[in-house]
Amino acid sequence: KMTSLGLDIDDDLVYRNMKSILDTAEKHRIMVTIDMEDEQRCQKTLDIFKEMKSQYEYVSTVLQAYLYRTEKDLDDLNELQPFLRLVKGAYKESAEVAYPNKKDVDQNYQKLIEKQLLTGNYTAIATHDDQMIEFTKNIVKKHNIPTSQFEFQMLYGMRSETQQALVQEGYQMRVYTPYGREWYGYYMRRLAERPANIAFALKGMTRK
């Protein structure tokens, strides 16, 4: 998250910190994903990503389906041939900038998944939603998209059997694991950001 690197403090600070991380990532060929935060920080985060992408290979970022602006952002980034992580979005935003209804978010998420996959750029579909998983499977089969071009991503401890099943079916699966001494605070903040996250977490932990 760019705020952890000084986004709200000083531009030079966040750029220095990001370059320090990416210098090491390039050396070891490790992909670094710039996470997306609330809508107010979206443009600044994308500006940083574009600048870093012009200098480094191993850098990616995240786009959130619940923001109205996201399809245009995806189109604007296409020339960079980016590795993009697509999510629905977890922050509480106003209806002025984000779709307030789940149905609209889901429809936009599907549109983004298909559009990004068809660009040929590497795509991470970060979801625990069976509907989105099946949608992705159908799209890649319809367009003969190789499994090497995309991956599914889920949180550690949620939908474990589904994760294993996807791997057995030949799909790539990445499991996201918060770590360090502040892991508990991270989870609590994620749940507090949006009340619907609590129900989502409970549902995910009790489903296979």
CATH architecture for residues 2-206 = Alpha-Beta Barrel (3.20)
- Concerning whether 85 is annotated as a catalytic residue, the answer is yes
What pLDDT shows up at residue 90? Answer: 82
Domain ranges of the chain: 2-206
What local confidence, expressed as pLDDT, does residue 156 receive?
A: 84
Q: Of the listed 8, 10, 11, 35, which one is catalytic?
A: 35
- Running along the chain, 208 residues long, what does each successive block of 10 average in pLDDT? 94 96 97 95 97 97 98 97 94 94 96 97 95 97 97 88 96 88 66 52 54
CA–CA separation, 183 vs 131, rounded Å? Answer: 29
CB atoms within 10 A of CB 18: 22
- The predicted model scores a pTM of 0.88
| CB half-sphere exposure, 60, CA atoms < 13 A | 17
Is residue 35 part of the annotated active site? The answer reads: yes
